[in-house]
Amino acid sequence: MTKQIRLNAFAMNCVAHQSPGLWTHPEDRSSDYNRLPYWLDLARTLERGRFDGLFLADVLGVYDVFGGNPDAALRNAAQVPVNDPLLLVSAMAAVTENLGFGVTCTLSYEPPYPFARRMSTLDHLTDGRIGWNIVTGYLDSAAKGMGKASQNAHDDRYNVAEEYMEVVYKLWEGSWEDDAVQRDKARGIFTEPSRVHRVQHYGENYTLDAIHLSEPSPQRTPVLYQAGTSLRGKLFAAQHAECVFMSGPSAKVIAPRVAAIRALTAETGRDPSEILMFSMMTVILGRTEEEAAAKHAEYRRYINHEGALTLMSGWTGVDFSTYDLDQKVEHVHNEAGRTAMDNITHADPDRTWTVREVAEHVGIGGIGPIVVGTPEQVANAIEDWVAQTDVDGLNLAFAISPGSFEDIVDLLVPELTRRGIYKSAYAHGTLREKLFGAGRARLQAPHPASSFRPALPSAIAAE
């Protein structure tokens, strides 16, 4: 069978997400992000297009590197205001049956005990359609919101994350046996107490002595997403992630990352084909080439350079407000800034890029490639991209929302389906079963979560 391409919609509980300025486009509705109808309509549209999931980004802080304050972020709605993504899920689950939800939650600022209950609750309410994008936090402004002078050092955050994962695995996988809940009305027994186990954890960062508060949910552990790009991040992904999300403008940037994570995954003993790689892409579709090009040109008129560079500054830590828009990228003197810019200019290395041009690339959908054309042309580009990078799917960013997703559903999905590279119907079962096959609702060995099951008494103290 031809390799099937997976599609996630990439969005955030904020205005415009990764297309600063495009919220001013007359057809964009993303400034209604704070109203339920916007999300219910989006969820219905995505399910109509058989999207695997809606991937919701999040930051618990503001982009205040650009100019040294949050003014540019606020003015341009560059991911601020930003509301909590987790609270959108149950409403969207109520109007869909198959769409998955991959939600970003920053573990650094969320104690594991209530967090584990939150995810279990959503796994129940969605009938097993919840995923968690594990993030350790990257904005100093978020740390300041939590009463710290700055965030923890990068590798230290991953050490904390490792222990956090151990605690939540113990709660999700180890506390309640599968047959603990009897729901036996005749005998009057809801739960058989001997099959519920106390989790006792005394670690460097977390201490816990409690049973998990939720009964086992369809997936127990939510589907685990991760987006690490550093070596330590890749290692974390190789150990824990079931889906990896990455962004880069060209196959040249993405292909080695995919290969590196698959290799690391194999080293951990896991099947490297069973860690699904999603790379970011923005597609702009028209019924004809001219229509697509005209749409692209129109979107470009709404790009907000300051907003785009505000995001770039937050991502890289370099204050791009100190650079002239027409400065050539090779003259950006800051090392980190150069690297970030080079990362974008890989998309077209023969061209001489200016800061403005980089902002205009990032200004529609972020760092991924922008593919413009007819459904046939875009499908060709996607097939080439998959062949060159070995990704399993795409996280599709939007120029305007829900317009970009409606175009994908109405124009691109039929073409991908016709080519046999996209599902013609959803598979049954939980999100994990839809992604990995029937009977795979729960994580299996050798994934580390499986080692915390009650069958292994070393991990769990029986009551």
Q: Which parts are annotated binding residues for FMN?
A: 58, 104, 154, 158, 230
**Alpha carbon distances (Å) from 103 to 16, 55, 133, 317:** 17, 6, 6, 24
Please count the helices (runs of H) and the strands (runs of E) in the chain.
Answer: 16, 13
Nearest to 305 by CA among 288, 280, 323: 323
- CA–CA gap between residue 7 and residue 422 (Å, rounded): 9
* CB atoms closer than 10 angstroms to residue 347: 20
Question: Least distance (Å) from a second copy to the CB of residue 177?
Answer: 12
Question: Least distance (Å) from a second copy to the CB of residue 192?
Answer: 7
Question: Which of residues 122 and 379 has its CB atom nearest to a second copy in the complex?
Answer: 122
Question: Which of residues 25 and 361 has its CB atom nearest to a second copy in the complex?
Answer: 25
Q: Which parts are annotated binding residues?
A: 58, 104, 154, 158, 230
Question: Least distance (Å) from a second copy to the CB of residue 82?
Answer: 5
Question: Which of residues 57 and 344 has its CB atom nearest to a second copy in the complex?
Answer: 57
Question: Which of residues 50 and 129 has its CB atom nearest to a second copy in the complex?
Answer: 129
Identify the burial level of 32 via C-beta atoms within 10 angstroms of its C-beta, where 0-12 means exposed, 13-18 middle and 19 or more buried. middle
Q: Which two tokens stand for residue 330?
A: 């090779």
Q: CB under 8 Å to 450, separation ≥6 — which residues?
A: 173, 442, 443, 444
**DSSP H or E run through 347:** none
Tell me whether the omega of the peptide bond preceding residue 256 falls within 30 degrees of 0, making it cis.
no
- CA–CA gap between residue 128 and residue 304 (Å, rounded): 39
Question: Which of residues 67 and 317 has its CB atom nearest to a second copy in the complex?
Answer: 67
Query: Can you tell me which residue has the tokens 């598979």?
Result: 427
Q: CB under 8 Å to 146, separation ≥6 — which residues?
A: 108, 109
Tell me whether the omega of the peptide bond preceding residue 375 falls within 30 degrees of 0, making it cis.
no
Q: DSSP of 277-321, one letter per residue?
A: EEEEEEEEE-SSHHHHHHHHHHHHHT--HHHHHHHHHHHHS--GG
Question: Least distance (Å) from a second copy to the CB of residue 274?
Answer: 29
Question: Least distance (Å) from a second copy to the CB of residue 37?
Answer: 9
Q: DSSP of 53-98, one letter per residue?
A: EEEEE--SS----GGGSSHHHHHTTSS-SB--SGGGHHHHHHT-SS
Question: Least distance (Å) from a second copy to the CB of residue 32?
Answer: 10
Question: Which of residues 35 and 328 has its CB atom nearest to a second copy in the complex?
Answer: 35
**Which amino acid makes up residue 453?**
R
Question: Least distance (Å) from a second copy to the CB of residue 161?
Answer: 17
Question: Which of residues 94 and 456 has its CB atom nearest to a second copy in the complex?
Answer: 94
Question: Which of residues 140 and 410 has its CB atom nearest to a second copy in the complex?
Answer: 140
Identify the burial level of 285 via C-beta atoms within 10 angstroms of its C-beta, where 0-12 means exposed, 13-18 middle and 19 or more buried. buried
Question: Least distance (Å) from a second copy to the CB of residue 78?
Answer: 9
